[in-house]
Structures are given as structure tokens and as C-alpha cells.
Amino acid sequence: MGKYTKLLWDVDETLLDFTAAENNGVQAVLRAYGVEPDAEKIACYSRINDSLWKACERGEITRDHILESRFPLFFKELGVEGDGLAAERLYRKQLDESAILIDGALEILERLSGHYEMYVITNGVSKTQYSRLKKSGIDRYMKDIFVSEDAGAQKPQNAFFDYCLERMGHPALEQLLVIGDSLTSDIQGGINAGIDTCWFDRKGTGDTQGREVTYIIRALKELEEIL
């Protein structure tokens, strides 16, 4: 074991396949309103949702604003008459029940357990994230789970990482490694907090967008080579 003793894991698109879960949820909403789902409609929702979350990461809007506005905006874009809040509840129910793992996720957690303290650091709704982590079996590998809703701040904001570090007992930063897929959320958050980062570049682009990433991996099993 090298210098790292504590691993801070992102969840969505790092350990759990959020895209698949999102697709299932949006399809359920569309069918509930008599609209046949297709790739174009799902991509439309993803653009709206991603844009809102990026604004939230920048501190421009709140998480509650996202949950209240994304389906009304989506319905407006499609020209569909629908109750945005009811759609959000249906979508959230579908998401709560989804736990589709990224390839190799449980295997790497199993191999690392017992050697490292592991924590979840995730943006999202607490009830949903806890449900998905439990359903997937990820929770049993984690010493603690830090969700933005509980923290009152989002990655990459310093306030989120301050919350995590306080809950962890203020460990030495050089012992920590942030692992995640999002350059703007996970990696930028780690950089802001002075913590080493490992970018999970699943698409293999290699483009760090000018950020000084400590490590890059393209598959979760590659993490062992770093540690």
C-alpha cells in the first residue's frame, strides 16, 4: 500500500451507471404521459438536466430548483402538457430502484476493502443515493457516505469537501485520493480542496480540459496499479 489510506469515491458514472438509470426513469415518465420514448427525447432531457446540474455546481442555482424545474422545462421543450412535480416523483421512484453497476465496480471495491478506508462523495438527493447504494451492495464497503443534500453544498464547492473532511476527523490531505468521472465536479473539487485526484476517463478522451489531474484510468481495475 502506498501513501493513500482513504479513497473518496464518486458514485454516478464511476460506480453506478447513472445514464442507464436516467434513461429508464425518463422512459417511465414519457409513457405515463402517453409519449413514446426515443433517443432524441431522452437526449433532450439529459441536456436540460446536465445544464441545470452544471449551474448548481457553479453555485448559480439550488438543488431544489433543479428538482422543481427540470421536468417543466422538458415538457415545454417537447410541447407536452404535464405535471412537472408529479413527473419528478415518478422519475425519482424509478431512480431509487435502479442500481446498475459499472463494469468491475464491486470487484475493485472487494479487492480494496480491508486495505483502505473508503467513502462515497456524491451530488444528489440523499434518499435516492442511499437507496441505490444499498440496493447495489456498494454501501457495505464504505466507512461513510457523504451526499450533497446532507452537506448543504455540492461538489466541487469547498464547503462540500469541508463537510466531508470534518466528518472524517480532519485526516492529512496527502492520505486521500478522489476518484471520479466528472472533471468539473469530482476532479475540480479535489483540486480545490488540495486532494490528489484520479479521473475515470471511461470514454478514453484523455482531455483533462486544462486541469492538473494526478492520475487517469480508463477502467476501474487500473486503480490498483496506482495504489
Q: What's the pLDDT score for residue 2?
A: 76
**CATH 3.40.50.1000 residue spans of the chain:** 6-16+101-226
Q: Which of 182, 211, 227, 217 is nearest to 56 (CA)?
A: 182
**CATH C-level class of 6-16+101-226:** alpha beta
Q: What is the mean pLDDT of residues 206-212?
A: 95
Split at pLDDT 50, 70, 90, the class of 57 is: confident
User: What is the mean pLDDT of the segment spanning 34-45?
Assistant: 96
Q: What is the mean pLDDT of residues 161-168?
A: 98
Task: Kindly report, residue by residue over 91-139, the tens digit of the pLDDT.
Answer: 999 988 889 999 999 999 999 999 999 999 999 999 999 999 999 999 9
Q: CATH 1.10.10.10: does it fit domain 18-96?
A: no
For range 199-210, the mean pLDDT:
95
Instruction: Give the residue range(s) of CATH 1.10.150.240 domains in the chain.
Output: 18-96
Instruction: Report CA Rg, the chain.
Output: 18
Catalytic residue numbers read 10
Give the C-alpha separation, 167 to 145, whole Å.
10
- For residue 1, is pLDDT > 60? no
**Mean pLDDT, to the nearest integer, of 152-165?**
96
Mean pLDDT, the chain, whole residue set? 95
Looking at residue 221, its pLDDT comes to 96
CB 145 within 8 A of CB 130: yes
